[in-house]
Structure 1
Amino acid sequence: MAGYEKYNALDVIGPDDQGIVTIQLVGPGLHAIGADAHRELVQIWLDVAADDRVRAVLIRGEGEQAYSSGGSFDVVEEITATWEARQRVMREARELVRNLIECPVPVIAAVNGPASGAGLVTVALADITVAGRNAKIVDGHVRLGVAAGDHAALAWPMLTSMAKVKYYLLTNEILRGEEAERIGMVSVCVDDDQVQQTARAIAERVAGGSRSAIAATKYALNNWYRQNFPLLDASLAHEFLGFSGPDVVEGVASHREKRSPNFQ
């Protein structure tokens, strides 16, 4: 039986009497994903998969102001500084995507406010995603000066069209909740103050369903992702090559100085 008390960078609650585990993204800077949280996001899906008590997972940001602003700049600067950090975080990024895809338990994401970077992986790869009308979905990799890795090349074209994917990934335009639902990036869009209760109701519904039938359906559908894993590996390789280049230095500096980047 999984012991969730070992998680410190994530707030893991449950499973409750309906078999629902709630994972809350917590931390400074709109729940930025630090090194510990990134590592725990990799492991939690393995523990959930091994826990027979769990029938559904609800993942959200603490409170209702933000889902996650993405990877912390401390982690980004560590990656740019050392080969060892690049290798570690690239391996974790690959395992995060794969572990989410392989987890047999249905995952419901509840998105209020910003969802970006490392936190966006769980939004795109959740089985059902509920977004508020004013949710702000943005993949910030290109704005940072690196290729859109993590999950984007694998997941986004499956959720929407190549034309929309290229527009949002290449421009870093913010994708609002209503438009995200319209183009297929999220399952459901509701008023911001209805996000959490809607996601909870969906979690309860799937938790009460046939465990074996839901797991088998999820497994079969996720073969669309499995057959395209080479896309994930290629995008990660390009992303982490970029972390050793000059553009990411300017990208991080422009974020910290709250200005537009000046890529040469």
Structure 2
Amino acid sequence: MPIEDLRPTVDWDKYRTLTLERRDNGVLLVTIAAPEGHPAPTLTRRHTEISCLWRDFADDPALRVAVITGTGDHFWTVEGDEGIDEMRENPGHYGNTVNLIREGLTNVRGIVDCDKPIVSAINGEAMGSGLATALLADISVASTEARLIDGHLLQGIVAGDHSVLSWPLLCGLAKAKLYLLASADLTGEVAERIGLVSLAVPPGEVLGTALGIADRMAAGPQHALRWTKRSLNHWLRTAVPAFEASLAFEALSFFGPDLAEALTAQVERRQPRFAEPAHW
């Protein structure tokens, strides 16, 4: 007798910053943009929704593979002074910082622990939590012209939302240190060359290539596919202690002066003047 499926029913209507398309072959296409009829997303709401997305995807029995992409020239960016104002609320605010840690853990562990495959179609500029999502996807397809920006150090905070977990495994420790410690952004073309993304293709081919890969996996043997992903991701799980340390140090840096100075400098359109470091 079949075992009753006790997984919760997923409420897909709750998403307000992501446009979701459920395809007949079990592919879920996620576009990082507010659905029609809803106001422009806030940074806080978008962080919350992306951290919930992967559990819902895993729990929906009709879905097999997810593809996540952005719109226009942006995969995920922080736009304008409104986004900066939201970030300026965090320094010295314990409750906001705890929430950021929780959502950072939920997003990263959600992607790593989700047995169903996730494909990212990196159509343009990607930064912050969006960059974490793009690069932690099982297969990442980037535009050759996409800009990948881990801007943590530019904002005076520790690179804590994914890079310590995955970059040394993807592109090696030497390249990870070059791009993270020197705060250097890189194109999709360079990212493919160093192993940070799976593929780099011309801009007009990004989504089509990602969907083609997803369609192939959706038609494949699902148990074998998911258990292979789960086995491979044990490499990432071995790095979780390093990731959690980086996330904790990132949270600590929210209480220092450098983040506030970096955000103020962005608003004032000038270079930040970081303070002399305290005794180490």
Q: Tell me if TM exceeds 0.5.
A: yes
| Deviations 1:101-127, CA, capped at 9 Å, x for gaps | 111110000012210111111111100
Whether the aligned pair in 1 keeps the contact of 2:158 and 2:246 (CA below 8 Å) is yes
Does the residue aligned with 1:237 lie in a helix, a strand or coil? helix
Is residue 40 from structure 1 mapped to residue 21 from structure 2 by the alignment? Answer: no
Indicate the residue corresponding to 1:17 in structure 2. 24
| Deviations 1:157-197, CA, capped at 9 Å, x for gaps | 11001111111111221110111000000001110111111
Does the residue aligned with 1:261 lie in a helix, a strand or coil? coil
Indicate the residue corresponding to 1:60 in structure 2. 69
RMSD: 1.6
Identity among equivalent positions (%) equals: 37
Whether the aligned pair in 2 keeps the contact of 1:79 and 1:85 (CA below 8 Å) is yes
> Which structure dedicates a bigger proportion of its chain to helix?
1
Whether the aligned pair in 2 keeps the contact of 1:79 and 1:89 (CA below 8 Å) is no
Indicate the residue corresponding to 1:254 in structure 2. 265
Whether the aligned pair in 2 keeps the contact of 1:113 and 1:134 (CA below 8 Å) is yes
Q: Distance in 2 between matches of 1:256 and 1:205?
A: 46
Is residue 235 from structure 1 mapped to residue 242 from structure 2 by the alignment? Answer: no
How many residues get paired? 259
Indicate the residue corresponding to 1:170 in structure 2. 181
* Structure 1 segment 87-126 matched on structure 2, within 5 A: 87-126=98-137
- How far the C-alpha of 1:82 sits from its partner, in A, is 1.2
User: Does the C-alpha gap of structure 1 residues 33 and 177 become closer, same or farther in structure 2, counting only changes over 3 Å?
Assistant: farther
**Counterpart amino acid of residue 222 in structure 2:** R
TM-score (norm 2): 0.89
Does the residue aligned with 2:68 lie in a helix, a strand or coil? strand
Is residue 215 from structure 1 mapped to residue 223 from structure 2 by the alignment? Answer: no
Whether the aligned pair in 1 keeps the contact of 2:16 and 2:41 (CA below 8 Å) is no
Q: Distance in 2 between matches of 1:220 and 1:67?
A: 28
Q: Distance in 1 between matches of 2:116 and 2:255?
A: 37
Selected match of 2:205 from 181, 194, 211 = 194
In terms of Rg, which structure is larger? 2
Give unpaired runs (5+ residues) of structure 2: 1-8, 35-39, 276-280
Whether the aligned pair in 2 keeps the contact of 1:34 and 1:74 (CA below 8 Å) is no
TM-score (norm 1): 0.94
| Deviations 1:24-58, CA, capped at 9 Å, x for gaps | 1126xxx9871111111111111111111111000
- How far the C-alpha of 1:64 sits from its partner, in A, is 2.9
- How far the C-alpha of 1:81 sits from its partner, in A, is 4.3
